[in-house]
Structure 1
Amino acid sequence: MLGSECNDLDLLFDPNNSKPIQPTELARNFRKLVEISGFHYVRFHDLRHTHATLMYQQGVHP
C-alpha cells in the first residue's frame, strides 16, 4: 500500500511506544517468559530450529 515509501527492515515494534524492539530486549523478555512458564530454557533462536525439526518430522520439506 505504501509503494516506494515503504522501507521494510524486518523490525518488530513495541505496541506501547511504536519503537523498534532491540534484540537484547527481546531475548531478555523471552527468558522471563520461559522462567515464568516453568519450561526448560532454550535460546529464542533455537525455536526456529525446533520448528524446522518438527515440520520435517511431519513430512514438510523446508
Structure 2
Amino acid sequence: MAGARFSAGWGRKETIDHRPVVPDLVVKFAGDTAVDAGRYRHPVRYLHVRDDVHPEQLPPPGG
C-alpha cells in the first residue's frame, strides 16, 4: 500500500502520505470506543513502551 494517501482528519481536505514501516517496538495506547470503519474517530493517547512484547509476537494489522 506504499504511495497511498489518506485524509488528514475527519472533515479535512488535506491528505497525508502512507509510508509502511517495519515495527521495531510495541507501545501501549489509549483510545475511546468511537471507531468507524476500523479507525479511531478521536485521537489516541500514547501511554508507554511495552518492553515485554516483541512486534513479531503480535498478530498482523487487521488480522
How high is the TM-score relative to the length of structure 2?
Answer: 0.27
Higher relative contact order (Cα pairs below 8 Å, separated by 6+ residues): 2
| Larger gyration radius, structure 1 or structure 2 | 1
Q: Which has the higher helix share?
A: 1
Q: Which has the higher strand share?
A: 2
